[in-house]
Amino acid sequence: MEDRLPLRKGMTRLIFIRHGQSVANEEGRFAGQTDVDLTKIGYEQAERAAEYIVKREKIDKIYSSDLKRAHNTALPVSRLTGLPINDVEGLREIYAGVWEGRLVSELWAEYEKDFYTWRNDYSNARCTGGESVKELYSRVVPFVKALAKENDGLTLLLASHASPIRAVDCSSRGYGWERMSDVPFVKNSAISIFEYDPESDKLSLVERDLIEHLDPSLITFIPQGLRN
């Protein structure tokens, strides 16, 4: 990521960071909105990401999912900038219904049809008893745009989760929820940057899945069973 360029008038810069490795990631669980914390690696990833971001960007406000793995990922940026963290439900991960906190291996065994769709037709997937990918997209994208409008011309740090960032990425490419499958997940503590133009009501992608701040030993992924 190069040093930031001045924003065009009226544009809002959105710097997303996916939470660091969580206990659920480490254990191979489908976290959803289950409120798990970061691992030791996750905390280190968050520190590295914060140092990287603050050197290159002037953050005006910090927003985070109200789940602790995202909030605690934003904490180092808060400490370095002196800015408070605004916790919001709108940046939460997908609600996973009966999958919440379950091992991925158990989902394959007990909810084979629904979980097969998640793995192979993500756009049309629904967590059993929970939120669908379409519903996630319809929740997150308008929320992020409203936040950008509210903070016109500012640079925001947003700590969130894999699926919400995937939805924003999808929208920035001009895709609806139907093409969510075409956009891959990002890694733990990866940085993705978007800009929002209020005149066109459109998000545009600047950078995605940046992990330059991480040593190879600190690069972690979504558990294998959840990647598609």
Active-site residues, by number, are 19, 93
Q: How do strand 155-160 and strand 61-65 relate by DSSP bridges?
A: parallel
Using CA atoms, how far residue 130 sits from 81, 95, 105, 136, 184, in Å, is: 37, 6, 18, 10, 21
Give the Cα separation of 207 and 170 in Å (integer). Answer: 13
Cα separation, 217 vs 45, whole angstroms: 10
| DSSP letters for 3-38 | PPPPPPTT-EEEEEEE---BHHHHHTEE-TT----B
- CA 164 to chain CA centroid, nearest Å: 5
